[in-house]
Structure 1
């Protein structure tokens, strides 16, 4: 269960805030995934984030702030659309891309004049941001391109001593990263689907939201291979999952299968099987844990199919496509 306000260890929060002020790195729980945080105004600390992850320095980070009222401190202007979305979805899994304010170093934006900002919906993260008193630049707390962490143990096992302090806030409730919306122009566009759905955005705005997948604006999660386990990931149509698993087993592969809900009772020829929840909310929450589990069970091939691309299914499909991308 995710930490509640009453569960927060004030000593741990104070220690983490001190680490950030000293230029250190803190693993921060959010409702989406765990982030690897640094003082956003400290270019040397931000550089340590890129080094720890093995992340290209041209890939921008997301700034995490404690409330929508502070947005104007970090961006050059707050258009009406951005203000509306922030009022409706913050705290929450929505990131807004806006023009960079003077306090934000180019090291945190990958050299861009835009900056990605959000307010996380997690009591531990919010307590840390309030105690720290500034913005925390934080990508996911894992090696670049690999499966994002949704527990503190995931962070410890992958990054080890590269992190100065790990705040444990329990397992992440949403399980996939935030939705990133470019709010710099007249028409907002989705640059990365995530925890806030397209339908929710359009309901609030009262108009369609553009698909920004071809945008020149760089944001996290756009690399062709991303969110990837060690095992190869192959995507097939749902009615081909069982046949592909059988064929791969005959070829001597150690096969892991994401079994679609419609095939829940079907016999599967595989080394390991993950039954996919019928609920996309539950699927998103468990997705990265499922990929890690099949790695830990020694699978060298994972066969999966894409969910319907509506609601959270759009974000899940995005992550699976990139997990299956060219390595």
Structure 2
């Protein structure tokens, strides 16, 4: 079913709300964002309050296609310009030194700022309309439109499920990418991947001529960035990420007479007879990284509604192609590791 995008009047209404310091949830190609005026500390505070987000956890500034990224940063490096020319509009966030006139609230008090230009047409229309109200320099701070630490929304209904009528929502259909943007830090003189996403390390290396430093938990000087806490992106139902040979005994121990089923997300080739077991709610895992990423958050939200006792997910290959999905699943599982 095709989505009818918001018209000019709806876009202008949403831009006026942003201009007045209110919040607007809007679609991007990655996930839905909870937007507020990036230069209004009170609006930024409303974002943090609505999400229950720690005040030191930065948000990303979203810019219109014709926006000026140089307005937001101290300087645009040659590397930044190359990446902008190649990947914007698109799911790549760049971390650079923040311009002095940009409020530190948007950066969680740091001297850096994350900026990106989304490719979704509704996001672009909203950002363009809002920027026009600000002399061409308007930017929208927009973390994912969900309660902090929980599963990100990839449809307008997901946002409504989180916030009800408390937040104005622009409906742009289901997100194409399905997981948050790649975050690349350029604020320290070398490229460092802080959060993997649709734009791969290899694609970045192809543009820059040097591979970005990959996140390994040892980069003590890295700026804080959205979605990089150990536990994040978690459903409300307990979730474990395990090799299938560790999952099978757990399924076997879960009797058919149990009140609730156990959810199993695995490849069909791995699941075997468990795919049709009466005590198992089976979901066939997508076979390729892009499809898995696009379906992941919707799948987790659906499993929260399925009234299952637990979610068991088959561990994925450790190859670079799966780095982004592995990142999200690992953080989701980490939210429950202390409960094991």
Q: TM-score range by the shorter chain?
A: over 0.9
Tell me the distance in 2 between the aligned counterparts of 1:7 and 1:86: 26
Residue 240 of structure 1: how far off its partner (Å): 3.6
Structure 1 residues 208 and 68: alpha-carbon distance in aligned structure 2, compared to 1, 3 A threshold: farther
Please list every run of 5 or more consecutive structure 1 residues that lacks an aligned counterpart in the other structure.
Answer: none
Aligned with 1:325: secondary structure?
helix
Deviation at residue 144 of structure 1 after TM alignment? 0.3
Aligned residues of 1:195 and 1:312 also touching (Cα < 8 A): no
Superposition deviation, residue 160 in structure 1: 1.7
**Cα distance in 2 between the residues matched to 1:305 and 1:199:** 26
Which residue of structure 2 lines up, in the alignment, with residue 127 of structure 1?
A: 125
- With structure 1 as the length reference, what TM-score do the two structures score? 0.93
Paired residues of 1:68 and 1:90 also in contact (CA < 8 A): no
Contact 2:5 / 2:171 at 8 angstroms: preserved in 1?
no
- Structure 2 residues without counterparts, runs of 5 or longer: 132-137
Residue by residue over 1:115-142, the C-alpha shift from the partner in whole angstroms, topping out at 9 and shown as x without a partner, is 0110011000001000000100010000
Task: Specify which of 57, 76, 80 is matched with residue 78 of structure 2.
Answer: 80
Q: Structure 1's 222 and 91: CA in aligned 2 closer, same or farther, altered over 3 A?
A: same
Matched, 1:13 2:11: yes
Retained in 1: the 8 A contact 2:178–2:296?
yes
1:266 Cα deviation after fit: 3.8
Alignment match of 2:226 (pick from 220, 245, 262): 220
Q: 2: CA distance between counterparts of 1:119 and 1:312?
A: 24
Moved more, 247-256 or 273-282: 247-256
Alpha-carbon offset, residue 248 of structure 1: 3.7
Greater shift in the superposed pair: 256-265 or 143-152: 256-265
User: Is residue 2:190 matched to residue 1:187?
Assistant: yes
Structure-2 residue corresponding to 1:43: 41
For the structure 1 residues 278 and 73, does the alpha-carbon distance in structure 2 shift closer, same or farther, using more than 3 Å as the test?
Answer: same
Contact 1:68/1:119 (<8 A) preserved: no
State the secondary structure of the residue aligned to 1:37: strand
Looking at structure 2, the residues matched to 202 and 250 of structure 1 have their Cα atoms a distance apart, in angstroms, of 51
1:82 counterpart SS class? helix
Give the structure 1 partner of residue 135 of structure 2: none
- 1:63 partner SS: strand
Query: Match for residue 157 of structure 1?
Result: 161
8 Å contact kept, 1:230–1:300:
no
| Aligned-pair CA distance for 1:184 | 1.4
The equivalent of 1:285 in structure 2 is 294
Q: Deviations over 1:250-292 (max 9, x none)?
A: 7946311102243365433344211111121111100001111
Please list the CA deviations of residues 221-243 of structure 1 after superposition, one character each: whole Å capped at 9, or x if unmatched: 12221100011111111344333
CA distance in 1 between counterparts of 2:61 and 2:118 reads 10
- In the alignment, the residues of structure 2 paired with residue 169 and residue 157 of structure 1 have an alpha-carbon distance, to the nearest angstrom, of 16
Once the two structures are overlaid, the 10-residue window that deviates more, 240-249 or 284-293, is 240-249
**Aligned equivalent of 1:92, options 74, 83, 90:** 90
Does residue 299 in structure 1 map to residue 302 in structure 2?
no
1:318 aligns with 2:327: yes
Deviations 1:94-114 (A, max 9, x none): 100000013321111100000
Supply the distance in 1 between the matched residues of 2:293 and 2:90 (Cα, whole angstroms). 15
Which residue of 2 is the match for residue 148 of structure 1? 152
Q: CA RMSD in A?
A: 2.0
CA distance in structure 2 between the partners assigned to 1:219 and 1:267 by the alignment? 39
